[in-house]
A and B are shown apart, each in its own frame.
Chain A
Amino acid sequence: GQQVMQIPQYQHVQEGEDFTTYCNSSTTLSNIQWYKQRPGGHPVFLIQLVKSGEVKKQKRLTFQFGEAKKNSSLHITATQTTDVGTYFCAGPVYNQGGKLIFGQGTELSVKP
């Protein structure tokens, strides 16, 4: 069946270092969404990418959607302790009424 793989599973960085998480789908996606879940919290929508090759920035966060619309990445420049949490990508399951399939998530910890 359709799969969304996300790596790495965990990433520990020193504050100020950069961080990247990668998402790969087994099928072409019409769009991809990114969510952040703080420890003990709930997922919060960050962004949606729709176009092939699209790049969007939110302050220190840069999101990319691959040309083939099968992969995506989230890059954080100069991490801060407020970036701690788990980042999930999610893509729609083909022909299933908007059902989202989530990647396994990347848990980011930042050492001050």
Chain B
Amino acid sequence: DTEVTQTPKHLVMGMTNKKSLKCEQHMGHRAMYWYKQKAKKPPELMFVYSYEKLSINESVPSRFSPECPNSSLLNLHLHALQPEDSALYLCASTPRGPGDGEKLFFGSGTQLSVL
């Protein structure tokens, strides 16, 4: 299995809703990432988990809350989002902890629309 699986593929939510994005990989990778990508822009790093511990938080607003229940799963909990948070949310993993030379395996993403 060489895939990173993300669910749901599409999500529409209101500004008062609470929702969660899920990411799963069974490649034995030890680092998992959340990226945000706006249309026609590069991915922007949000969070990194290394060996199930949060190692990087790119000063992301608290309305985004990551969780790593185990080495295969990564969640992103969403609450009180703003319309400008609408974007493609990409999960990625790397075989070892984040470090130079580690190539990212991306999931297919969740296209999020906040109304």
Q: Mark A24-62, 1 if CB is under 8 A from B, else 0.
A: 000000110101000001111100101000000000000
* Interface size bracket, A side: 20 to 34
Q: What total of A-B pairs shows CB separation below 8 Å?
A: 59
On chain B, the residues within 8 Å of A98 by CB distance are 94, 97-102
* Other 20 A-B pairs with CB < 8 A, given A92-B101, A100-B45: A30-B101, A33-B104, A41-B108, A42-B107, A42-B108, A43-B90, A45-B104, A50-B101, A88-B42, A97-B55, A97-B56, A98-B94, A98-B99, A99-B48, A99-B56, A99-B98, A100-B104, A102-B42, A102-B43, A104-B42
Q: Does B64 contact A (CB under 8 A)?
A: no
On chain A, the residues within 8 Å of B90 by CB distance are 42-43
* Interface size bracket, B side: 20 to 34
On chain A, the residues within 8 Å of B104 by CB distance are 33, 35, 43, 45, 100
Binding site for B on A (CB under 8 A): 30-31, 33, 35, 41-45, 48, 50, 88, 90, 92, 96-100, 102-105, 107
